[in-house]
Amino acid sequence: MGYLTGYSIYNKLGFTTQVGNIIQIGKNETRPQFKRGMYTIAFLKQKNTITKDSIPLLQILDTIRTIRKIPDARLEELCKRLLLVIKSVTDKPTLARLAMKYPPSTRALLGALLEELGSPTITIPLLKTLNPITTYRSGRFSNPRGNGTSDETTRKKELFRQALQATSDQLQILPIYVEKDYWVTMVPHELFHADDIGKDIIF
């Protein structure tokens, strides 16, 4: 079983009006790309089980994963649009669960967007998978030692925010503004450059 992703979904969800000549298909088992007429058929490996109900959620997650590849749009505007798309999702817990099998950058950005939408409890499992081991202070990474507070949840959320902001700065991504300032996210720089990120995309 497969589903359309890539440009087809960017257009459907309102992220771009462009129509590319590459048709991407998400599948559990992929194959080499091939040409059919003027189109190139490429495959994106999907680690989650693909079902009729999960396809719309997987398409959203694929969009988050490849957000920097969407043409002719600023990241701030893309993230604003993502907020509207995710807000319309009725089963946000399942969206977060499916994100567990996506790269850390996808999990981090989804977590930030869900928190902005007022769903902080849904972000807790995402936070745990990121397991931030560094904080960002004055442009440098340092080891977290804790601040003596008994509120472990607050401390972890702050570490999470700092790690995400660090990556935002590293990637030179401007903050997202949706009615109020809030932090833009990806993953800590060392996670973003991990060897396994992006290898599942087949072109």
Measured distance CA(187)–CA(94) in Å, rounded: 21
pLDDT at 115 exceeding the cut of 90: no
Q: Which domain holds residue 15?
A: 2-202
Each residue's pLDDT tens digit, 17-67: 777 788 899 999 888 888 888 889 989 899 999 999 999 999 999 999 988
Cα separation, 147 vs 168, in Å, equals: 24
Place 174 in a pLDDT band, splitting at 50, 70 and 90.
very low
Q: What is the model's pLDDT at position 60?
A: 95
The answer to whether 174 touches 184, Cβ cutoff 8 Å, is: yes
In terms of Cβ atoms closer than 10 Å to its own Cβ (0-12, 13-18, 19+), residue 186 is buried
What's the total number of domains in the chain? 1
Do 157 and 183 meet the contact criterion of CB atoms below 8 Å apart?
no
Which pLDDT does position 195 carry in this prediction?
45
The pLDDT value recorded for residue 87 is 92
Each residue's pLDDT tens digit, 88-105: 999 999 999 999 999 888
Per-residue pLDDT for 149 more than 80? Answer: no
